[in-house]
Amino acid sequence: MTTSPPLGCGSIGADYYLLCDTEKAWGIVLESLAAAGILITIFLICSLFFLICKVQDNSKRHMISVYFFFLLGTLGVFGLTFAFIIKLNDRTRPTRFFLFGVIFALCFSCLLTHACNLNKLVRGRKPFSWRVLLLFLVSFALVQVVISIEYLVTMLVNQRNEFLNMTRENTNKDFVMLLIYVLFLMALTFLVSMFTFCGPYKSWKRHGAHIFVTVLFSIAIWVVWITMLIRGNTDLGKEMWDDPVVAIALVSNGWIFLIMYIVPEICFLTAPLKLEDYPPENDFCQPKFIKQATGVDNRAYTQDEIVQGNPNYSPYASHFQMKAIEPQNDFSIPRPKARTSPYHDYTGGKSPM
């Protein structure tokens, strides 16, 4: 016995009814918000490539690769929403278990890497190079990749039937347990971002505030959806809310990533360089085209700038340092003198014998 598709859906599988069911509008609303987030994220990725050549600050230029991977993670967050709008089946279950933790691990790894770099900048220290930043990012995210692969291989190879036919309670518990490392990354990022407010260079604290607020809202979202998934829906007798709760969390967290972090960061990416944001003895963040060329300064012009405030200053006076001139030796050409003849005293007489 076949049931007719709901209003708004044509001849598609029953697992996909929530994508087009106008009576259960939550699926249409969430997929619309997710699609809008995907379009904006793609636009931001293109903008990031366009702004690379306009970034003057070397320390900000090193962060572009981190921003790029964060945008890829945000794109995955919005895309994963569709896996929770579609009903749970043999194909969506492995996708949910693997991608959810990996995508969020990538996003929070980017935030943690940025926070670690800011902790050096706010204290006037030399920041990490872009290679070190990428190494941190990949190392943090790779742990969750290993955990998810190990879980899926174990369940699909040794306990395939049990995994595909798990009860709702076991599915939710395993799903949350698989995200313990992501929760650790989130807590560590929140803690490290708090230390970015300690330091004499205030301009970098603004970037730390972006990370702090983003992680704070993310923690609130995760506490709500985990509580509802484990206990709330069961106590209310609304087991059908499991997928909507997680889908709403995904869309909400994705928009938090865009509004609270990546959009402000891209806006400040091309901000003019302020030399007071760096220690005077360090020029590691100076733009390359304004670095001083090798040479000797003209001290006369420097002295001229110093004495501008002197009331006795005259613009027509010479400001070169005068040096006493020592008397010179006589370098005149000597005149020729006649040579004395040996016969000068000769009188013509004979010499005595």
pLDDT computed for residue 341 by the predictor: 59
- Domains of the chain, each with CATH number or no CATH: 14-274 (1.20.1070.10)
pLDDT computed for residue 124 by the predictor: 79
**H helix or E strand, kind and range, residue 221:** helix 205-227
Over the chain (353 residues), what is each successive 10-residue block's mean pLDDT?
68 82 85 96 93 82 92 96 90 91 96 93 86 94 95 83 80 92 96 89 86 96 94 83 92 96 89 61 45 49 51 52 57 64 56 50
pLDDT computed for residue 21 by the predictor: 80
pLDDT computed for residue 276 by the predictor: 56
Burial (CB count within 10 angstroms: exposed 0-12, middle 13-18, buried 19+), residue 341: exposed
Q: What is the pLDDT of residues 102-146, one digit of tens each?
A: 999 999 999 999 999 999 888 878 888 889 999 999 999 999 999
Contacts of 11 (CB under 8 A, 6+ apart): 5
pLDDT computed for residue 98 by the predictor: 93
pLDDT computed for residue 130 by the predictor: 87
Query: What is the identity of the amino acid at 66?
Result: V
Largest CA distance in the chain: 171
